[in-house]
Amino acid sequence: MYKGILHTHYLVVTLFLLIYAIKTVLLLSNKNDLLTTFSKKTKLFEIIVSFLFLGTGIYLTTQLPLGGKFDYLFWIKLMMVFGSIPIAVIGFRKHNKLLAAISLLLITGAFGLAEVYHKRKAIPKDTIEIASNDGKTLYENNCKLCHGSDGKLGMAGAKDISVTVLDVEAIKTIIMHGKNAMPAAAVNDVQANAIAEYVNTNIKGH
């Protein structure tokens, strides 16, 4: 479910950006008649895409573990998206090139930020505040948000790790490198090992 919505979100955001970019290019190159025709022809499509964009975005936000490490990027992204909308509306209505360009820049920036947010792997090791090497503490700090204390929470599409069949090594690899929607944890080798051991003995099979 989560993954499907995530992919739909990416698709509609891309379509949304495409429509937007075409309209901005037409406006910037003074092709006002073409812009009017294009806007009319794509109106219904644009409404559908916008609805899907917002709907999937809202759903994904509700699935976001609060207090995650990348929260600030997420909020900047959200502000950029919502900031660009009124600017675009005014820009296109008044045929103001500067506003239209700013708006496209904002929304493209938000898209780029979302990519960074998604692709970004672990924070550099020396920024880790937690000095602890205790598996339980590390688990609570790095994994509980998505997996819950018992491993069953399933936030942000997280798998139920109480039923995992992975061994310590495989769990450690996922912790260090992440997997699909799961980001790599900002922990060193010893810490990753401690978490993997903790998951293997206290969560797996419980």
Q: Does 158 contact ligand HEC by CB under 6 A?
A: yes
Binding mask 44-83 for ligand HEC (x = CB under 6 A): ---------------------x------------------
Q: Minimal CA–CA distance to 56: which of 67, 68, 48?
A: 48
Among 147, 186, 193, 194, binds ligand HEC (CB under 6 A): 147
Going by the DSSP 8-state scheme, the letter that residue 150 receives in this structure is T
**167 Cβ neighbours under 8 A, 6+ residues apart:** 200
Place of tokens 């996922």: 174
CA angle in degrees (0–180, nearest 5) for 46-47-52:
95
Q: Does 186 contact ligand HEC by CB under 6 A?
A: no
Q: Does 156 contact ligand HEC by CB under 6 A?
A: yes
Among 143, 148, 193, 200, binds ligand HEC (CB under 6 A): 143
Nearer Cβ to ligand HEC, position 60 or 101?
Answer: 60
Q: Does 88 contact ligand HEC by CB under 6 A?
A: no
Structure tokens that stand for 112 in this block:
């780029």
Q: Which stretch binds ligand HEC (CB under 6 A): 47-55, 113-121, 124-132, 145-153?
A: 145-153
Count of beta carbons in the 10 Å neighbourhood of residue 16: 19
Distance separating alpha carbons of residues 184 and 173, to the nearest angstrom: 9
Q: Would you call 179 helix, strand, or coil by DSSP?
A: strand
Which residues contact ligand HEC (rule: CB under 6 A)? 65, 142-143, 145-147, 156-159, 161, 164, 166, 171, 174-175, 179-183, 185, 195, 199
